[in-house]
Structures are given as structure tokens and as C-alpha cells.
Structure 1
Amino acid sequence: MASSPSTSPAPQHRPNTAFRALRGHLSPGEFAANVRRSAREIGEQVSCDARYIGRVESGEIRCPNYAYERVFLHMFPGYSLTDMGFAPRESVRGRAARTRGARAGGQAPQQTTTRCDDPTHPQLPPFTDHPDSPGLTEFPNCPEYDEESDVLRRAFMTGGPAALAAASFGGTAPSAWAARPVPPASAARAHVGDAEASAVENAVRRIRLLDDRHGGAGLYRQATGSLRAAYGMLDAGTHRRSVTDRLHAGAGELAISVGWLAHDSGRYSDARSHYAEALATARVAQDPALEAHAFCNTAFLARDAGRPHEAVRAAQAGQHAAKNLGSSHLLSLLALREAGGWAGLGDRAGCRQALARAQHLFAKGPSDNDPEWMSFFGEAELEGLEAQCWSALGMWDRAADHAERAVRLQNPHFTRNRALFTAELASDLAAQGEAAQAAAAGSRALDFLGPVQSTRISAMLGAAAERLRARRREPGVAAFLNRYAATA
């Protein structure tokens, strides 16, 4: 059934011919590989692919985010963003920036919505920030909420299944999802295509970005709405195999991302269900990369939930699925997941062997075959996961050494991981008997709480506080315990 035309004009993109000229004779895929290599040269991690390059060259992305900006300026010394054909950042910032400007005395922009006379077509409310949602204004000092938000806002407001897939990060209240059904199969089938598959993929990226900054506790409820919509599209079916494949991969990755938010929030049964859903999707789609990712997260969850035998088996199954994918870093991470399981079993020999294998694979370096979701995996993560293994084995001095290196090496972009490794360091130092140092590390970790909402991190700090209670009279300990009590 056809919908009536939108009352708002369709967005017009002006092709970025300057950036296209910089690509030269390279294909979009080859140029994207150059971007990823250049990012690694300066310690950045971007998941650039041919689709991203196409979006830039078409003018859909008018200004890159800060990570891409640093990479492009490194690739083309002497060029400014304007020389590369990009618009000034302040001219493309979205509603969050404009809202802040309005609060400072400026005029807020008028909102437009897409209307549809078809009652079966899902309607979206105006693009607003709801007080119950971790939307664009809850963390006003984080610039990534402004970047590319003009593109995201259009995806949220065009209606149809694509809007359903993305709406949970467009400011829709969690309660609104409960009342909004997935469209009937007949309605969805008429609309599901490349745009809807892209919306699912973008929802996955958005969740990962927000989790890197803020942890899972404040995001989980909203993200489940996107997941329901994605699987609703799969159930409706598509006319093209390429779209179906993208939806399977996107929905599976979305299930893993939502599962991780549940995991980080302490909702272990929910997380296990989402990971199992992703694994089933991978098996149906015969997608070994998705299967390896699902097993990787399942192993991590099993370790945290006190099921170390399951952690070892899941990690080994993930290694089997990943063996032909050409990513040494993926195999390294899976070996670390296995090491965590052996540590939970108290098997030092098994843990040492898995850690040695992880380090050997990591030393082979990154490759273009590394999955996009592994952008967090660098030397800091390697050190942090090893610290957790030694901690589980009760080897506190070794655990603290690795945790300290993880804190020092962590990219500032990954705020949640900085908080995590700092909390790990505090707990290990407290167990080691270094009360003053543990209190100092714990206080630094508390500084992250607020922007970061993670049950796992709070539990680590709780363990550190419990170990320090008997040492309250030592320097800094009482101050940390009082701050922790107020936060808890």
C-alpha cells in the first residue's frame, strides 16, 4: 500500500567531488583499506568500508566525526577538512548542538515530520529527546552525539521499518516501544530494502558507540526496540537475497550488541537469550563470522556468570568458527576468552597456554579481515583481560601489573573501558594490600561513574571497597569509601 508524499522536502546531497579526487584511481574498498591502515599508524581505530566512502562522496556525510577527521588530516598533510570538500562542523551539527544553542539564548529550529495516511504504516513522533532515554542531551559534553546527526535524524523520521530499526536512538521513549507493534508482514514487505538493512547496520554502530562511552546500564531497554524491529523485517521477508543476507548479519550483530548491554547491566539471563538468538541467526545464514562473534560473547558471559566449563567450550567453538576468517586478532580474543574460562576453573596450566596463544596471535598484528566490531581490541584490552585472568587465579601482584598497563594504554575514546580497567586495578591493589594506591585508583574510577553506567564496573568497585573497609585509617581510604557509599 502506497503512502502519501512527505510534507517535508527530501534531503538533497551535494556530491563531494574534492574527496572523490583524493581517492584517485583506487576503488572505494581499496581506499577504505588505506584509511584503516592510516588510522592504525596514529593509534586510531575506525571501521571504514566502501559504503562509508560512498556516503562521504555522495555528500551524505557532510563532515566526518573526530576520529575520521584525525585520520584524514594524517593521510593528506597540508589539507584542511574544507580542502577535502567537507562542510564546517558547526554548520552540520544536529539537534543536540542547536538545542544547546537555543538554551543559551538562540532560536530552536522548527521540527518537521513525515506523515502517512496509511494506518498500517508505523508513525514516528517528532525527533525529540525524552527524559527517560539516554538520548542526545543526557551527556552534553560528548561530541559524538552531534556528528552525522543530520543523517541519523533523517533515518529516524522517514517512517517505515527503517525508522523502527533506528528509532530507539532517536530519542523515542522506551515506553513508546511497548505500544508500537512491528508492522504487519504485508506492510513491511513492501518497504524492506537496502535502506532498511542500512538502518539496522547503523543501529548496531550507534549502540557500540554509546556503549564505548557510557556502558550498558542506561541503554538496554531502548536497544531492545531496535532488535524487535530488525527481526520483524526478517520475518516479513525481502525480494532480494543480498538484502536478506545483510538483514541476517545486521540482526545477528544487533542481538549480540543488545545482549552485551544486558550483560554489562547484570541481566545475565537476558544476555544469554540474546546471544543464543544471534547464534541461531548465524547458523541459519551460514555466517561463520557472526557465529564466532556470538560464541565469543557467550564465553565472556559464561565466565562472568560462574560457568567456567561453558566459557571454555564456547571459546573453543568460536575459534573453530573463526579459523578460516583470516583474522589473527579475532583468534587472539577468543583465546583470551578461553583463558578466562580456565582461570575460573583454577587451571593455571590451561590458562597460561591460552594466554600464550593469545599473545602470539595478537603479535601478528591487525589485518583488513578483522571484524568491524573489534575496534575496541588493542593492546590495552589484551592487558586488561590478562589482568582479569590472574585476578581470578588469586595472583594479585601480576593482575595489578597488567591492569596498570591496561589503564595506561587505553585509548581515551573508550571511556567505559578506562573505567573498567581502573576499577580492576583498584580491586587488585586492594587484594594485594596496597590500600592507599587502591583507594586512589578507586577514586579515579568513581570519576567515570555518571557518564558510565555499568553494573560490572560498580561490582568491581564494590569488591575493592569491601577489601578496604578494615584499612579505613590509611591515607585516602576513608575518602574513597565515603565517595563510593554516596555513589552506591
Structure 2
Amino acid sequence: MAASPHSPNSSFRRLRAQHSPAEFAALVRRAAREIGETVSCDARYIGRVESGEIRCPNYAYERVFLHMFPGRTLADLGFSPRETVRGRSAQRALSAASASRPSPHPHPIHRYKESDVLRRAFMAGGSATVAAATLSLTLLGDTRRLPSRAGEAEAAAVEDAVRQIRLLDDRHGADALYRRAAQPLRTAYALLDAGATRQSTEDRLHAGAGELAVSVGWLAHDSGRFEDARSHYAEALATARVSGDAALEAHAFSNMAFLARDCGRPRESVRAAQAGRLAARPLGSPRLLSLLALREAGGWSGLGDRRACEDALARAHTEFARGPSSADPEWMSFFGEAELESLESRCWAALGEHARAARHARRAADLQDPHFARNVALYTAELAQDLARAGAPDEASWAGGRVLDLLTEVRSTRIRSMLAGTARTLVPHQRSPRVGAFLARHAEA
């Protein structure tokens, strides 16, 4: 039987079985790839379905779910008929609800339609150019059209903006997205300033705006705009402190630690990672503690403190081995074994052990799901860099050539900078045919 509004979707929960929400979300994404669909499913989306908040999935999710569970209907999966959720019935219900109580919204039906448009604006496939253009359209894009006070639809639009930025970054890298994402961020904070109809909605807006600030900060970070990134991360941290959101605070500190390391401030990186660990400790997510330990290890390696680095790496592996948890934040969907190997690789490289670093970077590239093109390119660029410094120029050139292949679909200043450094390291070996071919191709690119 279909779930009624706001009642838990027990049918869908039974289908998840023993999988954690994050694990089940990964299965959904895999099923989507099998049929050529694009969905940005994560643990929070699964939670929204199971709580009954999502009464009927969009068409892309519908195709994926029916592919995963052949022979079942949407009703079998616990969803309500689409016409009762998105058609005239839903609009009449919204109007009736608005009429039955005082409301600061003068045009509820118009706001419903507009917010649905806002949520759909990120839902575009195709090239990075199309994706970037999509970001500049209607999603949270015009502060002149904002309601006097934000409701659930606006909170959902902010949350969807975060998911779509992460999805597009995974596929195309940050360079094509950063400037387009700034306007949705400004609008999210304008919604926050306007206030919300309910405290629960305001809490969602705080969390969503903070996560959006982190996401836009990451786009700045990955595209080499370090000062912009620092500003966005600080904005996210301030939002977390104001709203008492420990999960957002831990996320902001994690990214600040990463940025400090990239900016050559390793001691600041250590302090930020340790502050993130304090914020994360009550949350019950071993994977989050593992990531923060890796961030701390990166800072210690930058300081040349091998013992402290090894201690932090040991903590990271211990926490990671505890496995995924329902308490894992949804933004951590990127953090699997491949990312762990990559971050450890960077630690050994900073300590000057390039052959050891290359072994971890190779495992990272091999383990990474090829669907996430940006990370495959990043890990392979790390491998090329480590191999070049370890005295394996031909292997480094092969890896560098693979990165050049991937850069036809990924735009990332970070990756291009790493590859340029590898090319400089390989110049003394340019008489090797393989090295010479790579250098020539890199120069053309």
C-alpha cells in the first residue's frame, strides 16, 4: 500500500534490507548507470524516502527503482500516485492548507510551482558546458522572486542544489561550475535571512546553506581560488556555530584542513583537523573520524613529523575498518577505500617516500568507480607525479597520458597543475620515446 503523506515508507525500508542508507544509495547509483540514467542519490535521499517526505520519486528515480525491482509498481515500493503529489490535487491541498491557517505567503500555488522549477533547474545532463549553463538559470537564482518567508519547498531547493553541485563536480571538475554556483549560494543565504515558516524549516535552511557554502568553497578550492575557498569555508563554519550544527562544523573543519595543507600551512591543517574531530566525536560516524584523521595525517606529513603522521594514519585505518554507519553524513559518499588510499599516498609523498606513495595512488586509481571521472583523473595524476619522482619516467608518462585522455571531460585546475609539475619532472628524460611523446602531447594540450 502506498505511504500516506508524512507517514514512514515501510515498504521501501524493507527493500533496503541490511544495507545502510549510504550503501543502498550506492546501489541506486549503480542501477542508474546500468540504464543510462543520472541520479544523485545519497544517504539523505534514502532517508527522505523512508520517512515519507518523498511521496513519489521523479521520473529518473522511478525508472531506476523499477529497474532495480522488476515486476513491482511504484505503489509496491510504497509511493503515492504521481497525480496526487504533483498534479492539481496537490495544488488544491496546498491551497486548502494555506487557507486554514494564517500564512505569510500571499500566493501559495505560484510559490509551489516556482519552487518545483527551482529544484528541476539542476536536473540537466550533457556536457560540462550545459551543466554550467544550467547553474546560471533559475535554481535559487533570483533574489527578487523570493518569498517573504521560506517554506519546505525552498529548503528542498537548497538541498537539491548541494546534491547537484556534487554530482556535476564528480563528473566535470570545478572549473566550469564555480562562478555559476555563487548566485545560488547568495540566494540560499537570502532565504536564511528572510526567516522560515517553521523552526524545522529554518534548521534545514541553516544546514543546507552551510553545506552549499562548503560545496561552493570546494569548487573554488579545486579551481585554485584559495582565498575564495577560505572565505566560503569560514562562512560555512559561522553558519554551523550559529545553528549548533556539529555535523556541518566537522565538514567545514575537514575542508579547512585540506585547504590549509594545499596552501602550505601544515600546522593550521593539523589544528583544523583536530577541531573537526572534536566536533565529530558525538556524531557516531567512524568514517567521518577516519577522514579527519587522514586530514590530520596530511598536516603532520607537511610538517615532516613522520611519527605523528603514522599515528594519525593508524587511527584513520582503525576507524575506517569499523565500516559505514547510518550516522555517516551524506556528503561523505565520496569517501571510500579509493579516497583513503589517495590521502595516504599524499602523506607518503610529502614525507619523500615516492615509491610507497605510488603504490597507494595506483590502488586509489584502480579502486575508484570509473563513473566519477574527476576522481579517476585526480588519482591517476597523483600516480603520474609519484612515479616521476620515484624514478620511473616511462610509467609516469603512461599515467600522464591517461590523465590527458580524462581531461577532455574533466576541468580541474588542481589536476592540470599536478600534471604540469609531472611534465617538468620528466623533462630530463625526454629522450625516452614514451616520455617525449607525453611531453609533446602535454605541450599541445
Q: TM-score, normalised by structure 1?
A: 0.73
Does the 8 Å CA contact 1:308/1:342 hold for their aligned counterparts?
yes
Q: Deviations over 1:357-377 (max 9, x none)?
A: 101110110111100000000
Equivalent in the alignment of 2:144: 183
Does the 8 Å CA contact 2:377/2:403 hold for their aligned counterparts?
yes
Counterpart Cα distance in 2 of 1:202 and 1:42:
17
Equivalent in the alignment of 2:362: 404
Decide which moves more: 23-32 or 309-318: 23-32
- Say whether residues 1:206 and 2:195 are aligned partners: no
- Say whether residues 1:414 and 2:372 are aligned partners: yes
Does the C-alpha gap of structure 1 residues 85 and 356 become closer, same or farther in structure 2, counting only changes over 3 Å? closer
Counterpart Cα distance in 1 of 2:433 and 2:123:
37
What SS does the corresponding residue of 2:48 show, helix, strand or coil?
A: helix
| 1:352 maps to which of 285, 294, 310 | 310
**Matched ranges for 1:34-433 at <5 A:** 36-38=22-24, 46-47=42-43, 48-53=45-50, 58-64=55-61, 69=65, 73=68, 76=69, 79=71, 136-139=125-128, 170=134, 172=136, 182-183=143-144, 188-190=147-149, 192-433=150-391
What SS does the corresponding residue of 2:196 show, helix, strand or coil?
A: coil
Equivalent in the alignment of 2:87: none
Q: Which has the higher contact order (CA 8 A, sep 6+)?
A: 2
Does the C-alpha gap of structure 1 residues 464 and 355 become closer, same or farther in structure 2, counting only changes over 3 Å? same
The letter for the 1-side match of 2:56 is G
Give aligned pairs, total.
398
Counterpart Cα distance in 2 of 1:295 and 1:374:
14
Give the superposition deviation at 1:485.
1.1
The letter for the 2-side match of 1:58 is R
Give the superposition deviation at 1:51.
1.8
Does the 8 Å CA contact 2:346/2:357 hold for their aligned counterparts?
yes
Q: TM-score, normalised by structure 2?
A: 0.79
Q: Deviations over 1:174-206 (max 9, x none)?
A: 9x99xx76238xx6324x100000000000000
- Say whether residues 1:474 and 2:432 are aligned partners: yes
Q: Deviations over 1:299-319 (max 9, x none)?
A: 000000111010000000000
The letter for the 2-side match of 1:188 is P
Counterpart Cα distance in 1 of 2:421 and 2:375:
18
Which structure features the higher share of helix residues? Answer: 2
What's the RMSD between the two structures over aligned residues?
Answer: 3.8
Does the C-alpha gap of structure 1 residues 413 and 55 become closer, same or farther in structure 2, counting only changes over 3 Å? farther
Counterpart Cα distance in 2 of 1:34 and 1:280:
31
Identify unmatched segments of 5+ residues in structure 2. 4-8, 31-40, 79-106, 108-113
Identity %: 52
**Matched ranges for 1:433-472 at <5 A:** 433-472=391-430
Q: Deviations over 1:335-367 (max 9, x none)?
A: 000000011111111111111110111011011
The letter for the 2-side match of 1:170 is T
